[in-house]
Amino acid sequence: MPGQTTKFQVFFEDAREGDRLPKIELDASYTKLILAVAATGDWFPSHHDPEYARKQGQKDIYLNTTFIAGFLDRIITDWAGPRTFIMKRKFSMQRSIFAGDTVYGEGIVKGCRKDDEGKGLIDVDVMMSTQDGPCVPASATILVPCRGEE
Amino acid sequence: MSKTSQYQTEPKLAFGTYEDARAMIGHHGKVAFAESEINWPAIKLFCSATEDSNPSYWDPDFAKEQWSGIIAPPGMMMTFMLQLLWRPEGARATPFLAFDVPLPGDTLINVSTEAEFVKPFKVGDHINAYDTLADVSAEKETRMGVGHFVTTVTTYRNQTGEVVARNTNVMFRFTAKRES
């Protein structure tokens, strides 16, 4: 759940196909985009220099890959809880997210299965979008604890 | 008075033909080491940007019990190999093999990634990584312009040599459609 400070955790036995990952929101202000550059160290100019971004054909500076990866992780663990290990995560940046956009994150459980060692895996689909529609479809496989494992 | 430096934020790209690029497939880049060990201040800065309150990144007691110490969000993986804009002996080039692939396009945009994480990134880990050029597409036209998709695979290891993550990244190297 957004803004959790408790250690709420989804256990393998709790998750069902079709469960929704709650929608979260982020303001992609200029300040946020500059913070994203500072926090990731990604100084490629299209993320902080509007003139360079426009030369690329973009309307303004846009969020970098690493920040997007971190926000996708947050969408997943805000729902699943802090005892979650993200094993695989892929995403496709189909549309850029620009300064001034409002960003949304949400997702859905696609399946629950046990691996060869009996560990609980959950497959999720996640989407990052803005007020203008979908931007970054993603999917991940996460490892969560099973009840009685503690 | 010493003069101010001009930051080199635009990567130095190699230029050449599609055939030159194809000839590089299978090549490995040099192993590069992260500027710093994974550290808690960098983790908190990153999480302050993504507004991620996961106690694995903020609460040492919880993190110790769950992971035996504070960990970094998996999304921080690529930050470990990014370089400072200034160092006393001069800035280091970003160690991305994709920039060394000879192609005609004068700019780039990242397209997609597929990551596999073997174990958590822990405070104190000193990460190193190298790239392998996996593929270069034929010329394509997208909304951004005309160019080639460059696929690299990065192998991340910690200070003990264990592979901690692998990342397949696709970047579009292109010449922009310039209006006016």
For residue B43, tell me if it sits in a domain.
Answer: no
Q: How many domains are there within chain B?
A: 1
Assigned token pair, A37:
């550059």
pLDDT digits (tens, 9 = 90+) for A24-75: 999 999 999 999 999 999 999 999 999 999 999 999 999 999 999 999 999 9
In a domain? residue B80: no
The 10 Å Cβ neighbour count of residue B154 is 24
Domains and CATH numbers, chain A: 12-144 (3.10.129.10)
Question: Residue A3: pLDDT band by 50, 70, 90 thresholds?
Answer: very low
Conformational region of residue A144, where left means phi above 0, alpha means psi within -120 to 50, and beta covers everything else: beta
Task: Please give the pLDDT value at position B180.
Answer: 40
pLDDT tens track for B93-145: 888 999 999 999 999 999 999 999 999 999 999 999 999 999 999 999 999 99
- Which pTM was predicted? 0.95
Q: A26 CB near a chain B CB, below 8 Å?
A: yes
What is the average per-residue pLDDT within B160-175?
Answer: 98
State yes or no: pLDDT of A145 exceeds 90: yes
CATH number at residue B98: 3.10.129.10
pLDDT of residue B163: 98
B9 interfaces chain A, CB cutoff of 8 Å:
yes
Query: Would you state the pLDDT for residue B20?
Result: 97
DSSP 8-state secondary structure symbol assigned to residue A98: B
CA–CA separation, A131 and A104 (whole Å) = 8
Q: Can you tell me the distance from the alpha carbon of A82 to that of A60, in angstroms, rounded to the nearest whole number?
A: 35
ipTM of the assembly? 0.95
| Distance in Å, alpha carbon of B76 to nearest chain A alpha carbon | 6
Which of A52, A54, A85, A87 would best serve as a mutation to test chain B binding (most B beta carbons within 10 A)?
Answer: A85
Give the count of beta carbons closer than 10 Å to the beta carbon of residue A17.
Answer: 11
Q: For residue B149, tell me if it sits in a domain.
A: yes
Q: How far is CA B122 from CA A76, B32, B85, in A?
A: 20, 19, 25
SS3 content of chain A, % helix, strand, coil (to 5): 25, 35, 35
